[in-house]
Amino acid sequence: MEINPLHYGLPSKVQLKELANNHIGIYKVIKSRIIQKDAAKIVATANQLKSVAPKLEVTLICTRNICSKSIALLEREGVNIEFVEL
């Protein structure tokens, strides 16, 4: 189920999906590689979500096209990663 990102003070381009109760996924399925700069933006989005609802668990939904530094950054910041195919 899609969630309105404006409720969390995020831009309307951010795609959010409810995965479970208190569990939101940031949907970022793109053809290009997710680099560390993109991961920093995803962490900022996750922090914005958690500032509105502190008990939220946040997961990034993306393809396997993500660099190892991005994975390390997301794991350090407590953002889970779920891989999907295009």
Structure tokens belonging to residue 69: 């530094």
Say what the pLDDT of residue 67 is: 95
pLDDT tens-place values along the chain, 86 residues long: 789 999 999 999 999 999 999 999 999 998 899 999 999 999 999 999 999 999 999 999 999 999 999 999 999 999 999 999 87
CA dist., res. 80 & res. 60, Å (int): 6
Structure tokens belonging to residue 27: 């949907």
pTM: 0.93
Structure tokens belonging to residue 64: 């396997």
Structure tokens belonging to residue 79: 């953002």
Count of the separate structural domains present in the chain: 1
Say what the pLDDT of residue 2 is: 85
Q: What is the CATH number of the domain that holds 54?
A: 3.40.1350.10
Q: Which domain holds residue 6?
A: 2-83
CA dist., res. 60 & res. 42, Å (int): 8
Question: pLDDT per residue over 62-77, tens digit each?
Answer: 999 999 999 999 999 9
User: In this structure, is the dihedral angle defined by the CA atoms of residues 21, 29, 37 and 70, taken in order, positive or negative?
Assistant: positive
